Amino acid sequence: MIADDRGLAAVARVREVREQDSRMGLVHADREHRAVVARAEELDHLVDTHQAAAGEPLPAGQWAAQRTVLGTVAAAARRTHREADAAGVVRTAAQEHWQQDRSRLRAVETLLERRAEARRAEAARAEGRLLDDLGAQRWLRAREEQAE
């Protein structure tokens, strides 16, 4: 690696670590979001089950208890849906952060690749010039030998 690229390579390593960290944050946020959504779906299912059972004739005490349970489960379901919405916002923010970090890393990697390609092209041109010079020298020697 050329001395000019050492600093850029260090920047690339830092960007790579940041990208990995933000990717792990995204994975964690996604897991949290999925877990909260699953809990919300379970609670919705419980609410549906209790509502279906509420249509059956029951003694007043059981009916009141069932309505209390239904109200509690429905409140928990609403609260869990709000938590799922908040977790979705966090997940979206984590995804945007990861995409930004990934974009920055790709920019540095692209710059490093372009610099390496430019050095290879310059080396190929220098080699071509050298081969042209050697060919010209050989042609001159051959011509001088023919002249003698």
73: containing domain: 3-147
Whether 71 and 50 have beta carbons less than 8 Å apart is answered as no
- Quote the pTM value: 0.71
- What total number of domains does the chain contain? 1
pLDDT digits (tens, 9 = 90+) for 82-120: 999 999 999 999 999 999 999 999 999 999 999 999 999
Would you say residue 55 has pLDDT above 70? Answer: no
**Per-residue confidence (pLDDT) for residue 41, from 0 to 100:** 94
pLDDT digits (tens, 9 = 90+) for 19-44: 999 999 999 999 999 999 999 999 99
Place of tokens 């080699």: 127
Residue 10's domain is classified under what CATH number? Answer: 1.10.287.1700
Measured CA to CA, the distance from residue 28 to residue 91 in angstroms comes to 9
How large is the average pLDDT for residues 50-67?
A: 76
